[in-house]
A and B are shown apart, each in its own frame.
Chain A
Amino acid sequence: MTSLRPILLVEDNLNDIELTLAAFKQSNLANEIVITRHGGEALDYLYRRAAFQDRIAGHPIVVFLDLKMPKVDGLEVLRQMKSDEFLKVVPVVMLTSSREEADLVKSYQLGVNAYVVKPVGFQQFADAIRQLGMFWAVVNESPPNGIGD
């Protein structure tokens, strides 16, 4: 597989999706952005189930995961990923509006790779997304292909 692996964005709020995409756009990342609207959908994607059962195999290069979502929330998705032998190597950046320490602590306990409190200012948000996206999608070498494929 030679093409860039996709970035998985898990976000229920459309405004946030738009803002996040705008931020990604600013960072000039060439990776495909896959959007899922809640935890269950994200897991379906990751495990190629339901609507995603026919997608091409392969893990996203990084998962941007909103914490607070209806049904299966971000922490649950994180927990399942980090307890999965294959998925746990996929870096997860937790995006959240919350400054709640409990959420932060729990995320790190579950093995989150980065934690971003979405700032009110768009530019700051865009800067953060850019840095994180660059780091995980470009700078940081992803684990060798084949694992979990």
Chain B
Amino acid sequence: MGLRARLFLLVLLPVIPALLLALFTNVEERRLGASTVEKDAMRIVQLAAASQLGVIEATRQHLVGLSRLPQARGNDLAAFDTFFAGMLKIYADYNDFGLIETNGNLVSSSFGRNGQTNHADRAHFQRALKTQDFAIGDYQAGDGTAKPSLPFGHPVFDQNGRMVRVLYAALDLGVLNNVVAKASLPEGGVIRIFDRKGHILACYPEPEKWVGKSFSDSPVVAAILKKKEGASEIRGLDGVARLYAFTSIRNRQDPVLFVTVGIPASVAFAESKHILVRNLAVLIVIALLTLIAARIYATSYILQPVKTLSETTRQVAAGNLSARTGIGHAPGELNQLAQAFDEMTESLRRQRMENERSATALRESEERVRVVLDTALDAVIIIDDKGLITSWNREAEKIFGWAREESIGQNLASVIIPPRYREAHERGLKHFLATQEEAVLNKRIEITALRRDGREFPVELAITPNRLGDRFIFSAFLRDITERKQAEEEIRKLNATLEQRVQERTAMLEEVNKELEAFSYSVSHDLRAPLRHINGFADMLRQDSASSLSEPGQRHLGVISAAAKQMGTLIDDLLVFSRMGRAEMRRTRVKMDEVVAEVLREMSRDLEGRNIAWNIGPLPEVSVDRSLLKQVWVNLLSNAVKYTRQREQAEIRITCRKNDGAEWEFAVQDNGAGFDMQYAGKLFGVFQRLHQSEAFEGTGIGLANVQRIIVRHGGHAWAEGKVDAGATFYFTLPDIERSRI
């Protein structure tokens, strides 16, 4: 039911009580009208009855008068015929007069038909005989005259009071009809007179149609005959609904005639109908006006906004979020609703824009991810917690030979896992989902995978589980490591070969080392022995035979001794140098200042008679082989002392600092003979000497030893100098303390 219909119904609702009231009033009016009409009818009926009664009374008086005539008891019946014929001329209202013998034979009448007609079965005769009084008969037609009549009877008594005859008169029904025709009937009203058998005796209007007809079978008539007197609304004989009033005319208490007056319902209710029509008209007018007003109001204030709203809603529903009702700020719930609707739509529009932006961002993000995944050099496969593939990148297509469309939705196990591992895969997945224990997840493992062509190949696989809502997805990153495996195999083989080679080389080196050791041994032992002998015998020669030797001979002997000693020193230094490279290093924490002090103490003999200004800075504790480092200091300090020999005031400075590489950098600076930087590179070579042995003794192995020791400790040594302007020797040591502890 549309809103308009509901509105109209709402408007019409108040009209209903008014309508009911009008109808109720109408019922009342009708009852009142009916009652009035009934009274009128009753009055007319009674008036008519009284008039009829007057006619009947006149007839009775005539018959009473006639019955007293002696001739009525006499036998001169012919005279009576004449008399009765004369009567008809006087009383035109009668159709016949007559005398009836007690056996019912009509012996005299206005028409003189004596002995030929018998009235024994007729009501007027029977009742008169029975009651011995005036009696009213029933309708009759004919009987001498063809005119319809109402017969009457009256007894005739003899002198003894014995009833000898019945006097009879037939009243012309025209009289009755005239009487009823005079009744003042309302329009459409009918008046009728019945006899006891239901014959209509008189009637108005249309007497010619109804008079003489019997309606004894009609229930209407039967009811009237039974009730004798009263009123009721009945559908009449002519089929017209009427209000009927009726009464009976009595003779000796017996109802003999019945008078009815019927007034049509239309007349009876005319007034009430009129009022009803008026009231209804007023009501309809009011209702129509209200409806029009409601329609106008509803159209402009309800239906239009509602229509606008619903149209806008349809547009919005169709996706047009820029649709607006256009109903601005105005009071009224509908306007507020429209406004709220507009606000809602605006909010929806914004939300949709936001959603679109988000969707675009999401798309871009997905695109990015897809591009990243597709350009990844690893195969990236994502499966859900049922093991079904949800993502399959380009590299995966390449490695496994399955296109993305073919693999999405497939079970991972059946696609890339060799059949013999599938059960383990399913078990692992179930185990993880049940316990969240990860045996192979989140780390790189190497497994065997299955290619589309059925070939198996090694892959490196990393699976990371990710919780997505209440479910897990698994991202698998795979790469084909066939080549790597081959390379690894080659490397392994190479390594094996290499190991073998190393072993061989080591063996060789060990052999060489042994030879070297044997060489050193024989050098130290066998080479020194002849030297010793040369020297020893030269000495003995000098001691025992000095006097017998010439001057040059003694000098030659001295040269032989010196040369032998020099060679011995060289051999010793060379052996030290060779041992330096082979000896094991034993690192300990060594305080350098203590070592320097110790070396200086041991050098005290060489320092005698020297004027040296020592400038020793703070020196750190380092992790080194103490004896080897001591050798370094011995070499450097003795060099410094040696090469400053020609200085009146020698200056030797020992310092240490941290250099850029976080190493300890030691320096020994002197103001001695110095050297030409051109030969700086040669300083640290074995047997390299930049000075004549006559000027500065030495074997030329000391700095080579320094270099060797420092390099073995992970540092390096170098020197700076200038001829006659001093030299500075540097060496570095890694700060092992820091890197180790």
Q: Kindly supply a per-residue 1/0 record for chain B positions 533-564, scoring 1 wherever the CB is within 8 Å of any chain A CB and 0 otherwise.
A: 10111111000000000000000000001001
User: Is A15's beta carbon under 8 Å from chain B?
Assistant: yes
User: Is B626's beta carbon under 8 Å from chain A?
Assistant: no
Contact B521 A98 (CB under 8 A): yes
- Smallest beta-carbon distance B28→chain A, Å: 154
| Cα distance, A118 to B531, chains bound together (Å) | 11
User: Is B526's beta carbon under 8 Å from chain A?
Assistant: yes
- Given A15-B537, A19-B537, A99-B572, A119 and B532 touching (CB < 8 A)? yes
- Given A97-B528, A97-B529, A122 and B520 touching (CB < 8 A)? no
User: Is A13's beta carbon under 8 Å from chain B?
Assistant: yes
CB interface residues, A 7-22, toward B, < 8 Å: 13, 15-16, 18-19, 22
| Cα distance, A18 to B537, chains bound together (Å) | 9
Contact B528 A100 (CB under 8 A): no
| Cα distance, A18 to B579, chains bound together (Å) | 32
B interface residues with partner A (beta carbon < 8 Å): 520-521, 524-526, 528-529, 531-533, 535-540, 561, 564-565, 567-569, 572, 575, 579
Contact A99 B532 (CB under 8 A): no
| Cα distance, A48 to B540, chains bound together (Å) | 35
Which B residues are CB-close (under 8 A) to A15?
529, 533, 536-537
- Given A121-B539, A121-B565, A97 and B532 touching (CB < 8 A)? yes
Contact A19 B525 (CB under 8 A): no
Contact B533 A19 (CB under 8 A): yes
- Smallest beta-carbon distance B538→chain A, Å: 8
User: Is A120's beta carbon under 8 Å from chain B?
Assistant: yes
9 A–B pairs (Cβ distance < 8 Å), ordered by A: A96-B525, A98-B524, A98-B525, A99-B575, A119-B568, A120-B531, A120-B567, A121-B539, A122-B537
**Given A15-B537, A101-B579, list of 6 further CB < 8 A pairs?**
A15-B536, A16-B529, A16-B532, A19-B537, A98-B524, A122-B540
| Cα distance, A68 to B521, chains bound together (Å) | 10
User: Is A28's beta carbon under 8 Å from chain B?
Assistant: no
Q: Which of A13, A15, A16, A125 has the most CB of B within 10 A?
A: A15
B interface SS class: helix
A118 (CB) vs chain B CBs: closest residue: B532
Contact B532 A19 (CB under 8 A): yes
| Cα distance, A148 to B564, chains bound together (Å) | 44
Contact B532 A100 (CB under 8 A): no
CB interface residues, A 95-127, toward B, < 8 Å: 96-101, 118-123, 125
- Smallest beta-carbon distance A21→chain B, Å: 11
- Given A19-B533, A68-B525, A122 and B572 touching (CB < 8 A)? no
Q: Looking at the complex, which one of A19, A67, A68, A97 makes contact with B536 (CB distance below 8 Å)?
A: A19
- Given A98-B521, A99-B572, A121 and B533 touching (CB < 8 A)? no
B566 (CB) vs chain A CBs: closest residue: A120
| Cα distance, A99 to B573, chains bound together (Å) | 11
Which A residues are CB-close (under 8 A) to B579?
101
| Cα distance, A120 to B573, chains bound together (Å) | 13
Which B residues are CB-close (under 8 A) to A68?
525
- Smallest beta-carbon distance B663→chain A, Å: 31
A101 (CB) vs chain B CBs: closest residue: B579
Contact A120 B524 (CB under 8 A): no
| Cα distance, A103 to B255, chains bound together (Å) | 187
Contact A120 B525 (CB under 8 A): no
| Cα distance, A105 to B564, chains bound together (Å) | 28
Contact B521 A100 (CB under 8 A): yes
Q: Looking at the complex, which one of B520, B537, B568, B575 makes contact with A120 (CB distance below 8 Å)?
A: B568
Contact A97 B533 (CB under 8 A): no
Contact A16 B533 (CB under 8 A): yes
Q: Looking at the complex, which one of A22, A67, A125 makes contact with B532 (CB distance below 8 Å)?
A: A125
| Cα distance, A96 to B522, chains bound together (Å) | 12
Q: Rank and list the top 5 A-B pairs by shortest CB-CB distance, nearest first.
A: A120-B568, A122-B536, A122-B539, A15-B533, A19-B536
Which B residues are CB-close (under 8 A) to A120?
528, 531-532, 535, 564-565, 567-569
| Cα distance, A96 to B533, chains bound together (Å) | 13
| Cα distance, A43 to B532, chains bound together (Å) | 27
| Cα distance, A100 to B582, chains bound together (Å) | 13
Which B residues are CB-close (under 8 A) to A22?
536, 540
B569 (CB) vs chain A CBs: closest residue: A120
Which B residues are CB-close (under 8 A) to A19?
532-533, 536-537, 540
| Cα distance, A99 to B532, chains bound together (Å) | 14
CB interface residues, A 39-91, toward B, < 8 Å: 67-68
Which A residues are CB-close (under 8 A) to B565?
120-121
Contact B537 A97 (CB under 8 A): no
Q: Looking at the complex, which one of A97, A121, A123, A125 makes contact with B524 (CB distance below 8 Å)?
A: A97
Which A residues are CB-close (under 8 A) to B521?
98, 100
A68 (CB) vs chain B CBs: closest residue: B525
| Cα distance, A100 to B583, chains bound together (Å) | 12
- Given A15-B533, A120-B528, A100 and B539 touching (CB < 8 A)? no
B572 (CB) vs chain A CBs: closest residue: A99
- Given A120-B565, A122-B540, A97 and B526 touching (CB < 8 A)? yes
Which A residues are CB-close (under 8 A) to B539?
121-123
| Cα distance, A22 to B528, chains bound together (Å) | 19
Which B residues are CB-close (under 8 A) to A98?
521, 524-525
Contact B540 A97 (CB under 8 A): no
Which A residues are CB-close (under 8 A) to B536?
15, 19, 22, 122, 125
Which A residues are CB-close (under 8 A) to B564?
120
- Smallest beta-carbon distance B157→chain A, Å: 206
- Smallest beta-carbon distance A12→chain B, Å: 10
| Cα distance, A122 to B561, chains bound together (Å) | 9
Q: Which of A16, A22, A97, A99 has the most CB of B within 10 A?
A: A97
| Cα distance, A122 to B568, chains bound together (Å) | 12
